């Protein structure tokens, strides 16, 4: 397939990109890594008249200030894997990045582009929800900050205004007594996620019991979703056992029900079952809704136990 004809402009700054977007209106699109946009152009699913390349707009690297990890929007997925600040302050994101596409995609794709594309199977999007990330966007009226929980509106749709561009992603740094886990099921390496689960668990300061939990899921709705707090309420005060880090790789064949862990571990199973029951995953050529729901139950229980084990220092 051949992309339709379009005009190309390389913006030297985000302000210039915003101005070009305003001038181009509905017929203008931002080009960052291009790993989602270019296939859509070649398949003629998108046909903009103007492509605005922002790769020259920013040359910053990840940084940390005030306990917050700042990722410039043009941070490549490969950098998420390799950068020491990312690995130290948001290991969940570093771990999830290795599941993004293949080497070519990771070398070119960007964290801001992934969030703006709003793919419902996005590893980066699910991690943004699990870590309570915020997105800094710039438009004709200046800058504003959008919580990741308020960014995704539906299939490949965000709440950004037409002339707004993502410039940064802000992620609270990892804290003591906090653990993480990411699990994903794909049919083949580099495929889109059938289901992905990102979990964060924080323990009480004085006991190895859970004080706070966040679980985000991809591949189960028209956007990445965050499990409702009431579905996780049964984990408060629990101490999870069984199925620690590395227990039961989710990628090999059809998953089983996971190690029950006995007693304390049942809180993870119960929370995972509540989350799965609350969802109505889509059925498509890749998987049925019922299969996706079972994956949610199995992978969520594994992720909760693994995140708990990391928080308790067992990893």
Identify whether the C-beta of residue 151 lies closer than 8 Å to the C-beta of residue 127. no
**Residue 168, C-beta contacts closer than 8 angstroms, at least 6 positions apart:** 70, 71, 72, 73, 112, 135, 136
Q: What percent of the chain has pLDDT over 90?
A: 82
* Backbone torsion region of residue 311, taken as left when φ is above 0, otherwise alpha when ψ lies between -120 and 50, otherwise beta: alpha
d(CA 147, CA 24): 27
Kindly state the average pLDDT of the residues 186-215.
95
Q: Which two tokens stand for residue 91?
A: 């290991």
Kindly state the average pLDDT of the residues 168-176.
97
Alpha helices in the chain, H assignment, sequence order: 14-24, 37-42, 77-82, 84-89, 91-97, 103-108, 111-117, 123-130, 229-232, 266-277, 289-311
Question: pLDDT at position 262, please?
Answer: 42
Query: Residue 301's closest CA among 278, 267, 262?
Result: 267
Question: pLDDT at position 36, please?
Answer: 86
pLDDT tens track for 22-38: 999 889 999 999 888 88
pLDDT tens track for 255-299: 444 443 444 459 999 999 999 999 999 999 999 999 999 999 999
User: Which one-letter DSSP state was computed for residue 76?
Assistant: B
Least confident of 7-16, 38-47, 69-78, 185-194: 38-47
Identify whether the C-beta of residue 185 lies closer than 8 Å to the C-beta of residue 299. yes
pTM of the model: 0.91
pLDDT tens track for 298-312: 999 999 999 999 999
**Residue 69, C-beta contacts closer than 8 angstroms, at least 6 positions apart:** 62, 63, 85, 86, 89, 90, 170, 171, 172, 173
Question: pLDDT at position 190, please?
Answer: 84
Answer whether residue 148 shows pLDDT above 50: yes
Query: Residue 172's closest CA among 95, 64, 74, 80?
Result: 64
Mean pLDDT of the chain: 91
Q: What percent of the chain has pLDDT over 70?
A: 91
Torsion of CA 26, 27, 30, 35, to 10 degrees: 110
pLDDT tens track for 52-97: 999 999 999 999 999 999 999 999 999 999 999 999 999 999 999 9
Question: pLDDT at position 39, please?
Answer: 87
Which of the four pLDDT bands, split at 50, 70 and 90, describes residue 248? very low
pLDDT tens track for 97-106: 999 999 999 9
Which of the four pLDDT bands, split at 50, 70 and 90, describes residue 242? low
Answer whether residue 142 shows pLDDT above 80: yes
Query: Residue 132's closest CA among 231, 215, 205?
Result: 215
């Amino acid at each position: 397939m051949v992309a339709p004809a379009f005009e190309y402009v390389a913006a030297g700054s985000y302000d210039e990109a915003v101005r070009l977007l305003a001038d181009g209106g509905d017929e203008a699109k931002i080009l960052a890594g291009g790993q989602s946009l270019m296939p859509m152009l070649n398949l003629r699913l998108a046909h903009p008249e103007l492509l605005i390349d922002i790769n020259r707009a920013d040359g910053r690297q990840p940084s940390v200030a005030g306990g917050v990890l700042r990722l410039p929007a043009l941070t490549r997925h490969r950098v998420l894997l390799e950068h020491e600040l990312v690995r130290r302050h948001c290991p969940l994101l570093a771990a999830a990045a290795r599941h993004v596409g293949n080497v070519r995609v990771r070398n070119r794709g960007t964290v801001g582009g992934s969030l703006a594309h709003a793919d419902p199977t996005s590893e980066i999007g699910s991690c943004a929800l699990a870590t309570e990330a915020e997105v800094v966007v710039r438009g004709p009226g200046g800058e504003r900050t959008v919580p990741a929980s308020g960014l995704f509106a539906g299939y490949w749709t965000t709440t950004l205004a037409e002339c707004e561009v993502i410039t940064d992603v802000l992620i609270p740094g990892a804290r003591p007594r906090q653990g993480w886990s990411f699990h994903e099921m794909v049919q083949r390496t580099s495929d889109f996620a059938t289901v992905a689960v990102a979990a964060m668990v924080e323990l009480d300061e004085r006991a190895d019991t859970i004080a706070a939990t966040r679980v985000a899921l991809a591949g189960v709705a028209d956007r990445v979703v965050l499990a409702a707090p009431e579905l996780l309420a049964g984990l408060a005060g629990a101490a999870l056992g069984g199925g620690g880090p590395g227990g039961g790789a989710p990628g090999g064949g059809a998953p089983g029900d996971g190690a029950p862990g006995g007693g304390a571990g049942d809180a993870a199973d119960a929370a995972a079952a509540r989350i799965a029951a609350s969802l109505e995953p889509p059925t498509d050529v890749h998987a049925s809704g019922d299969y996706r729901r079972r994956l949610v139950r199995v992978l969520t229980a594994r992720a909760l136990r693994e995140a708990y084990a990391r928080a308790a220092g067992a990893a």
